[in-house]
């Protein structure tokens, strides 16, 4: 299961690290933006303020099958250019197209059209920030700590463009994401129900995050049976996914 919610990074860090000093959190954010600016060789800056009071955050729970079906569809579009011939299958997290994509990446072929969706798959938490970034940066742990989470930084405007391509490929009417409560996702009736669900829920949350100028967090739930157990190499700098 994945959780999807809009929240300032400083608030997320405050909850995750049990940190309450706003000056320290502000400095951590500033340091991160400086590292990202050097990494992407462009200014990376957005404003955040730690909430004065503990406030509830509404989160969407997305079944893992939906997210992996969306990634499989994005990989299919990346390689084939259309959804013709694509089938979600019973285990989208093991879809053959994902293996094909991995082989292409190992041969130094870059993801051109869906870097935000396809290059954020190794992280426990992805923060899509309100900055137009060309790719996803993986923040690697400097210490071998089993309790640490794998964290990546992606781009809200970039994700929005990718979801728009998928919306068009699936033939989804524009604006449907604004009426999600009335949409029925039935895999027995619609073979594309899983990626369609993920696309629409993400589109709705991206719009919310952009309107609020806050990061959109995509967090992998504990004990997810489909999680990628690939090890992350040690290091202190972000790694850009090809």
pLDDT average, residue stretch 152-176 = 95
- Whether the CB-CB separation of 117 and 71 falls below 8 Å is answered with yes
| Tokens 């869906």 sit on residue | 114
Residue 230: per-residue pLDDT? 35
- Looking at the predicted structure, is the pLDDT value of residue 21 above 70? yes
Q: Where are the domains of the chain?
A: 2-49+56-64+114-221+234-240
Confidence of residue 54 (pLDDT cuts 50, 70, 90): low
Residue 25: how many other CB atoms lie within 10 Å: 22
Confidence of residue 16 (pLDDT cuts 50, 70, 90): confident
Distance CA 76, CA 97 (A): 6
Residue 83: how many other CB atoms lie within 10 Å: 16
Q: Which residue has the higher pLDDT, 53 or 220?
A: 220
Confidence of residue 227 (pLDDT cuts 50, 70, 90): very low
Task: Give the tens place of pLDDT for each residue, 191-225.
Answer: 999 999 999 999 999 999 999 999 999 998 865 44
Task: Give the tens place of pLDDT for each residue, 102-139.
Answer: 999 898 889 999 999 999 877 889 999 999 999 999 88
Residue 102: per-residue pLDDT? 93
> Which of 22-26, 75-79, 137-141 has the lowest average pLDDT?
137-141
- Looking at the predicted structure, is the pLDDT value of residue 85 above 90? yes
Residue 238: per-residue pLDDT? 52
Residue 29: per-residue pLDDT? 95
Confidence of residue 232 (pLDDT cuts 50, 70, 90): very low
| Tokens 């059209």 sit on residue | 113
CA distances, 208 to each of 92, 150, 233 (Å): 28, 25, 34
- Looking at the predicted structure, is the pLDDT value of residue 148 above 70? no
Confidence of residue 97 (pLDDT cuts 50, 70, 90): very high
Residue 239: per-residue pLDDT? 52
pLDDT average, residue stretch 162-172 = 96
pLDDT average, residue stretch 80-100 = 95
CA distances, 221 to each of 4, 19, 54, 101 (Å): 10, 22, 22, 25
Buried b (16+ CB within 10 A) or exposed e, 113-134: ebbbbbbbbbbbbbbbbbbebe
pLDDT average, residue stretch 135-146 = 71
Does this model's pTM top 0.85? My answer is yes
Q: What is the mean pLDDT of the chain?
A: 86
Residue 18: per-residue pLDDT? 76
């Amino acid at each position: 299961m994945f959780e999807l919610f809009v929240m300032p990074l400083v608030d997320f860090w405050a909850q995750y690290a049990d940190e309450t000093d706003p000056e320290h959190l502000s400095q951590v954010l500033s340091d991160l933006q400086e590292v990202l600016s050097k990494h992407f060789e462009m200014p990376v800056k957005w404003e955040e303020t730690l909430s004065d009071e503990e406030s509830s955050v509404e989160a969407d729970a997305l079944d893992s099958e939906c997210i992996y079906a969306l990634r499989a569809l994005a990989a299919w579009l990346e390689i084939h250019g259309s959804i013709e011939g694509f089938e979600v299958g019973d285990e989208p997290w093991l879809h053959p197209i994902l293996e094909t994509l991995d082989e292409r990446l190992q041969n130094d072929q870059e993801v051109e059209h869906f870097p935000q969706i396809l290059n954020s798959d190794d992280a426990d938490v992805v923060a899509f920030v309100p900055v137009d970034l060309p790719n996803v940066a993986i923040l690697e742990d400097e210490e071998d700590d089993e309790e640490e989470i794998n964290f990546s930084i992606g781009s809200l405007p970039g994700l929005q463009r990718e979801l728009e391509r998928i919306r068009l490929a699936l033939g989804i009417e524009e604006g449907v994401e604004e009426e999600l409560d009335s949409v029925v996702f039935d895999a027995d009736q619609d073979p594309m129900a899983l990626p369609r669900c993920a696309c629409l829920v993400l589109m709705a949350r991206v719009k919310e995050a952009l309107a609020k100028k806050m990061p959109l967090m995509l967090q992998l739930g504990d004990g997810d049976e489909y999680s990628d157990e690939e090890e992350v190499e040690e290091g202190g700098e972000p790694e850009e996914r090809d």
